[in-house]
Amino acid sequence: MDIVTPDICDDYPEVQVVEPGFQNFGGVDAFGGEVVTVKCFEDNSVVKEQVGKPGNGCVMVVDGGGSKRAALLGDMLAEKAADNGWAGLIIYGCIRDVDVIRKTELGVQALGTHPRKTDKKGIGDLNVPVTFGGVTFKPGQYVYSDNNGIVVSEKKLG
């Protein structure tokens, strides 16, 4: 499936659209897949754990509380996610190592960049509903992203 979110919105008017504010940072501009959620705040321990596991074409949706005080994803975790078959990550927070991530075969959307890494305290929740951008993401939904925006569907499209 070619992912073009305006076409998805036209063809599937029931999809939810995430409010603008995200930027595309990954080496893959358009990506989509089944949702896996992480809820964490200034601690990317659960993100680090998950990118080390097979992604099976899924998209990790990370609710970082919108924090712009530390990065939840860097080049090493992005490369590990790509190597393990994740389609991408959507991060309600910041990333770092942008120049390397832009060359990584992975979709990455985030609010912005920050050079500081997070503390690792082992705090965070996996596969719980998360809400940001006017949308609640639930494990098992499908998310599609490109340079136009991010849309969420209850079912796989295309």
Q: What is the pLDDT of residues 97-123, one digit of tens each?
A: 999 999 999 999 999 999 999 989 999
Report the percentage of the chain scoring pLDDT > 90. Answer: 97
Q: Helix H segments across the chain?
A: 5-11, 45-51, 75-83, 98-101
Judged against a pLDDT cut of 80, whether residue 133 lies above it is answered with yes
At residue 147, φ and ψ (nearest 5 deg) are -70, -10
Q: What is the 3-state secondary structure (H, E, C) of 89-120?
A: EEEEEEECCHHHHCCCCCEEEEEEECCCECCC
Tokens of 46: 């659960």
112: closest CA among 71, 75, 151?
71
pTM listed for this prediction:
0.97
Q: Find tokens 């832009």 and name the residue.
A: 102
Mean pLDDT of 141-157: 98
Question: Is residue 1 predicted with pLDDT exceeding 90?
Answer: no
Write the CB contacts of 154 (distance below 8 Å, at least 6 apart in sequence).
14, 141, 142
Please state, in angstroms and rounded to a whole number, the distance separating the CA atoms of residues 134 and 122.
Answer: 28
For position 158, what pLDDT does the model report? Answer: 83
- Mean pLDDT value across the chain: 97
pLDDT of residue 154 exceeding 90, the answer is yes
pLDDT interval class at 138 (50, 70, 90): very high
Please say if the pLDDT value at position 67 is more than 80: yes
Whether the Cβ atoms of residue 132 and residue 62 lie closer than 8 Å to each other: no
pLDDT score of 28 more than 90: yes
- Kindly indicate the confidence band of residue 52, based on its pLDDT and cuts at 50, 70 and 90: very high
Residue 118 near residue 71 (C-beta atoms within 8 A): yes
